[in-house]
Amino acid sequence: MEDIRVTSWLELLEVLHQNSWNAELRRFRSPYVFRGQGRAARLTTSLQRLSGETRDLERYLVRAFRKYAQANVQTENVLWYWLALGQHHGVPTRLLDWSYSPLVALHFATAEERDYDKDGVIWMLDMATTNAALPGPLSHLLRHEGSSVFTTDMLATFSPREGSQGLSFDADIQWLERMERESGHPFLMFLEPPSLDQRIVQQSALFSLLSNPVDDLETWLGQYDGAARRVHLPAELKWEVRDRLDQANVTERTLFPDLGGLGQWLRRYYRRRGDEMPEQEEDRTPEDERNRHR
């Protein structure tokens, strides 16, 4: 895995936009997806951060979420839809958030001021490299669709449907585990969620999904040359990056286009540099906490 440490805003932009030229399309289209973290924590999913047996917990969480959420959403009998919806609303899942936009990733690397004394990190994953490790049927589907990411509908084609009520979690996940056994190794997919609300759209969001929810993503990435780059954002550069993002209109107000996002932006934007951060967390709203760990 390639580790890069930048020292200036211009160097940061240069690194994040490297290899963007697509000669076939004659357009600038980056092969990377991006994830920003305020501190150099490992790439773990919200499901893995729970204690207990990961596979069993996932089954219980999805079942309970389906049961209690159906009154509030249009029902979809597709596991991948429920995982995407749950991830979007803070349910622990095997999914991990990414963005097509390097600037959105930079926002999440600089959004939490309590981490401004710590180095952040921007992850860059090359989907062409990770997709090359997909099992044949999944790879064929992407080529057929002319895509590099899956949608919930595309993945649903692998799940046989039984009646109008859909299948159980175990039946829905069965084909994924079968493909992993046949290929002899875990594989990584990228899932483009439905446009559940404007946040998904504004953040250019997509999710990664390992076929084995227990496996460590960083260890998996380390097996493939060129699959990942880790750009280290020095703590002393965070204020400048944050100010430049605000100038570029990449803020909570635009990425979380509701009153909660507006409130977050106002609270952060109008705090002067040098003002003491509250030592306690009484001022943190549930909305802040939900968006803190994606």
Query: pLDDT band at residue 43, thresholds of 50, 70 and 90?
Result: very high
pLDDT for the residue numbered 127 = 94
pLDDT greater than 70 at residue 288: no
pLDDT greater than 60 at residue 279: no
How far is the C-alpha of 64 from the C-alpha of 50, rounded, in Å?
16
Among candidate residues 284, 275, 249, 274, the one with its CA nearest the CA of residue 107: 249
pLDDT greater than 70 at residue 97: yes
Lowest mean pLDDT among 15-24, 82-91, 276-285: 276-285
Q: Mind listing the pLDDT tens digit for each residue in 52-88?
A: 788 889 888 988 988 888 777 766 677 888 888 889 8
How far is the C-alpha of 75 from the C-alpha of 65, rounded, in Å?
12
Q: Are 41 and 108 in contact (CB under 8 A)?
A: no
Q: What is the mean pLDDT of residues 202-227?
A: 92
Q: What is the mean pLDDT of residues 221-228?
A: 93
Q: Are 99 and 203 in contact (CB under 8 A)?
A: yes
Compare 13 and 52 and report the one with higher pLDDT. 13
pLDDT greater than 70 at residue 275: no
Structure tokens at 272: 């002067």
Q: What is the mean pLDDT of residues 133-144?
A: 94
pLDDT greater than 70 at residue 277: no
Among candidate residues 227, 26, 212, the one with its CA nearest the CA of residue 133: 227
pLDDT for the residue numbered 292 = 47
pLDDT for the residue numbered 105 = 97
Query: pLDDT band at residue 5, thresholds of 50, 70 and 90?
Result: very high
Q: Are 190 and 206 in contact (CB under 8 A)?
A: yes
pLDDT for the residue numbered 161 = 57
Lowest mean pLDDT among 125-134, 183-192, 241-250, 274-283: 274-283
How far is the C-alpha of 184 from the C-alpha of 15, rounded, in Å?
35
Structure tokens at 69: 């959420």
Q: What is the mean pLDDT of residues 174-192?
A: 90
Q: At 70, which amino acid appears?
A: Q
| Alpha helix segments (H runs only) across 5-78 | 9-16, 54-69
Q: What is the mean pLDDT of residues 146-172?
A: 73
**What count of residues does the chain have?**
294
| Alpha helix segments (H runs only) across the chain | 9-16, 54-69, 79-88, 102-110, 127-131, 136-145, 152-156, 169-183, 198-202, 217-221, 238-247, 252-255, 259-269, 286-292
pLDDT for the residue numbered 270 = 87
Report angle CA 57, 61, 63 to the nearest 5 degrees: 120
| Rounded percentage of the chain residues whose pLDDT exceeds 70 | 88
